[in-house]
Structure 1
Amino acid sequence: MCLARRPAYVQWSLPFLPHAHRMTLIDIGANLTHESFDHDREAVLQRARAAGVAKMIVTGASREHSPRALILAQTFPGELFATAGVHPHHAVEYTDECDAEMRALHAHPEVVAVGECGLDYFRDFSPRPAQRMAFERQLQLAAETGKPLFLHQRDAHDDFVAMMKNFDGRLGPAVVHCFTGSRRELFDCLDRDWYIGITGWLCDERRGSHLRELVRHIPANRLMIETDAPYLLPRTVKPQPSHRRNEPMYLAHIVEELARDRGETVDAVAAATTATATAFFRLNTT
């Protein structure tokens, strides 16, 4: 990553980004139920609005947080929407009772996707057989509801693809959230018509520099953007906030970086990702 070619405004704090005032963005992955937001959640939303983030998908990733995501979406109708699912880290909690709870959540129109679900062999916080079982049950739920999938995959690509193939022809659209993988993994996903979510990982010179070339290959109608807040604060935000907490307002910064790497205008990336997210999550019909 060549910092020398970056214009000076990238070093400023977010409110001074020149495009933020006119962009209309959708953050497809924000963990707004996280306890770090408990003391200032409404201020976080206000800052997001000021930075052009018009809508946010609140990630539900466990039995505890999926219902909270729905409550937030109901509290801020038309601005916040929710997913409901169980992350592979929590796969051991996916019991029959949990499955019934997820189905009840998906009866609500504010819940616009199944997940966050998938496989994570990097952390292995849940045994791999439990991860595969929980993922399969949520794929079944997506097949039955027809809702899009909000997917997580880390160091488990081949098993992940194999399990998805078992549901060929039965699933709606799917987005691989927070894509961090290799060129082969990206093209495997694109060949299967999956969507790609890009986060501030793009801005991490230690582990995300390969993405700066890869993002050029993602078709505009398959690309979406997300902060994964409060995680993955973009390392190119200057000055870095002392608390290190990511917020949806930094989505505008990710768009600036992504546009530069794709050789496109900021407005073009903003418009395309917003249109793609609106269609993917069916936000005009909820």
Structure 2
Amino acid sequence: MASEVWSENSGSYPLSINIVSHSHNLPLPEIYPALFLHRARWEYLTLNVYTPSVLVIDGPVPLLRHLDLTQHSNSNFELRDAPQLRSVVLCHSWAATLPWQQLTQLTIEQTVLGECLPVLRQTTNLVYCDVTVWSVGHNDPDDGFITLPFLESLVFNMNPENLGSRILNLLTVPALRRLEIRERCIEMDPIGYLTSFIAKSHCRLRILEIVSRRTVHRNAYRLAFPSIPKFAFDNSYFEPASDEEASEEDSEGDEDEDEDNSESAEDFSVDGDSGSSDGQIGSDAD
């Protein structure tokens, strides 16, 4: 089997493992016995799997630093003994047991609110967090408050979008320096919600990124938050129109460029060990 040869030829070096499995019946250790035999050398692990009811990484994984887990079935995942694990990406992962408290970087994609909140409540040492919630779920989520005392960078997205304030109202993040959020997550009163969120956390934001479609002009954000030195927008501003104006716009089509698009923009990147990405986002010169 190729995995056996590869595992043997790698000697004693740390391993980066990427497993894509469509099997619903057999446990992964039975499908890839050679890889699991060498789990003590795993450093980076990516699993994109259909699994049975429980997938357990049994035994210590002493070198593992990063886990990227995508599950396509309602199964439980357990990984308990990974003392070096600091970074995790979860997608469609409804039930995972991990050493949450030791994580410093966490990305949660396409999860439900009821699964997301208990995880955040346990990850008290996070420095970077990227959360995308796509459903409230069937069960009423626990609305207990969540304090993340070391969190410096937060990327937040939620659908239904207008429920985004529900999570923000629960969070206290005193060390937050960078916030990226879709305005439509708090579209009922974007500036009001952000003002309350910042005041409650007593944080000193350095970068505020408003992404996707906006109905609040960038100048309004600058006036509302003069203490924030850097703003970033992705040039999607739609001025609220009256019913008569909206009808005219519909008939004319989208011939006019958005006024934000016509302005020159500088690029900036957010660096550092906090897990923030190096992707560039258009930003206004102050």
What TM-score comes out, normalization by structure 1 length?
0.36
What TM-score comes out, normalization by structure 2 length?
0.36
Query: Which has the larger strand fraction?
Result: 2
Larger radius of gyration: 2
Query: Which has the larger helix fraction?
Result: 1
